[in-house]
């Protein structure tokens, strides 16, 4: 068997990869296509979106702890390990993108698991989670081999998400943006597709209020997380209540520079749910994106979401594409206490 190894992918001072950029992007596209074909999925990755994703994980400037590793077998790139530690209690989230058609696929997943645990231990000082670090692996629901590896290693399913999608080209009777604007005006609200930088604090305040129930480590971590999300999303569609002088609903969209875009976050303040604001906001997102020549919009939803989001998404025509599970593990890390003595810390699932 040809030996395999992990090598870091980083950006140099000029903002380019410190390796053959074309080789890396081509490998990402090839592996993505192989995974889609093997698991019966639709692959919407473009060269632009592949490069943007890799640049995000390889870039050292962020509010998150993140990393990108190439998995090589000899000189060939056969996989990617994308590591992200948001500033919330979810801990470290890892995506293993490996060609599932390889005979040693199971062994490569096992190696990725062991490498990831070691990475967490080596980078424990970066998290600031007080020693409580949870590690999660994102696995397609169809990937039974990866699931078996994690199960054999004692990991447990912590959450089950669903990816939902809407093909904008198939909807000929959707209302235009101006019509949606009039409907919201009848309800006493205005809608905007952009906000000035000086109003970002209002978007931040609305986001924080809507997700105040999310478990988090501390106020500073959550503040950094919210500000990071706002900065990294390219389109902000907001519903404005002039009477309250506040944003009462919003959708944050990430532009992948291809035909598909990701709806990262959408929320409606609790007291306004059930009045049709959420549905109009979703349709406004569709109208705006279609006007910008996008053909598809995707979002990920926690299967355990109890806010009625699923009913809303299905009502506006979104359908499930596939599911994926997050397998979690107990990670043992060593931290130095104030008196200089080392102590062992475990996060119980």
Q: Which tens digit of pLDDT belongs to each residue from 16-56?
A: 676 678 889 999 999 999 998 998 877 767 787 788 788 87
Q: Which tens digit of pLDDT belongs to each residue from 304-330?
A: 666 678 888 888 888 887 777 767 754
Question: How many angstroms separate the first and last alpha carbons of the chain?
Answer: 36
State what percent of residues in the chain have pLDDT above 70: 76
Q: Evaluate if residue 345 carries a pLDDT over 50.
A: no
Q: Evaluate if residue 215 carries a pLDDT over 60.
A: no
> Which of 92, 109, 144, 171 has the alpha carbon at shortest distance from 330?
92
DSSP character at residue 245: T
Delineate the domains of the chain, giving CATH numbers in brackets: 4-161+327-346 (3.40.630.30), 172-316 (3.40.630.30)
Q: Which tens digit of pLDDT belongs to each residue from 84-105?
A: 775 444 477 888 999 999 999 9
Lowest mean pLDDT among 38-52, 129-143, 204-218, 233-247: 204-218
Rounded to an integer, the average pLDDT of 46-67 is 75
Tokens of 202: 């209002």
Mean per-residue pLDDT of the chain = 78
Q: Evaluate if residue 218 carries a pLDDT over 50.
A: no
1 neighbors 104 (Cβ within 8 angstroms): yes
Residues contacting residue 233 through CB under 8 Å, at least 6 positions apart: 252, 253, 254, 264, 265
- Please, which pLDDT band fits residue 340 given cuts at 50, 70 and 90? very low
pLDDT the model gives residue 295: 82
pLDDT the model gives residue 332: 44
The pTM (predicted TM-score) of the whole model is 0.68
250 neighbors 239 (Cβ within 8 angstroms): yes
């Amino acid at each position: 068997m040809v030996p395999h190894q992990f090598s870091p992918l980083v950006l140099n001072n000029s903002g380019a990869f410190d390796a053959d950029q074309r080789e890396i992007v081509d490998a990402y596209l090839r592996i993505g296509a192989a995974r889609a074909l093997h698991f019966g999925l639709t692959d919407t990755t473009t060269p632009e979106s592949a490069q943007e994703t890799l640049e995000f994980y390889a870039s050292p400037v962020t509010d998150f702890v993140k990393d990108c590793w190439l998995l090589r077998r000899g000189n060939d790139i056969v996989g990617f390990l994308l590591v992200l530690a948001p500033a919330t209690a979810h801990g470290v989230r890892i995506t293993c993108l490996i060609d599932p058609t390889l005979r040693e696929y199971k062994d490569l997943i096992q190696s990725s698991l062991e490498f990831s645990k070691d990475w967490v231990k080596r980078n424990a000082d970066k998290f600031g989670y007080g020693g409580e670090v949870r590690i999660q692996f994102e696995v397609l629901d169809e990937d039974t081999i990866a699931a078996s590896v994690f199960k054999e290693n004692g990991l447990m399913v912590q959450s089950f998400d669903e990816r939902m999608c809407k093909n904008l080209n198939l909807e000929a009777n959707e209302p235009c943006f101006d019509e949606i604007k009039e409907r919201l005006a009848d309800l006493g609200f205005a809608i905007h597709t952009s906000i000035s930088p000086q109003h970002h604090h209002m978007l931040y305040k609305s986001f924080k209020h809507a997700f105040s129930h999310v478990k988090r480590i501390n106020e500073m971590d959550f503040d950094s997380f919210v500000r990071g999300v706002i900065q990294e999303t390219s389109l902000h569609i907001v519903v404005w209540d002039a009477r309250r002088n506040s944003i009462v609903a919003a959708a944050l969209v990430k532009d992948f520079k291809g035909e598909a875009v990701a709806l990262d976050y959408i929320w409606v303040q609790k007291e306004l749910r059930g009045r049709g604001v959420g549905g109009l906001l979703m349709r406004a997102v569709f109208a705006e994106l279609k006007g910008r020549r996008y053909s598809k919009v995707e979002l990920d939803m926690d299967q355990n979401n109890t806010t009625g989001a699923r009913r809303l998404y299905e009502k506006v025509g979104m359908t499930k594409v596939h599911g994926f599970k997050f397998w979690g593990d107990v990670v043992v890390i060593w931290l130095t206490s104030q008196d200089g003595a080392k102590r062992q810390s475990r996060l119980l699932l």
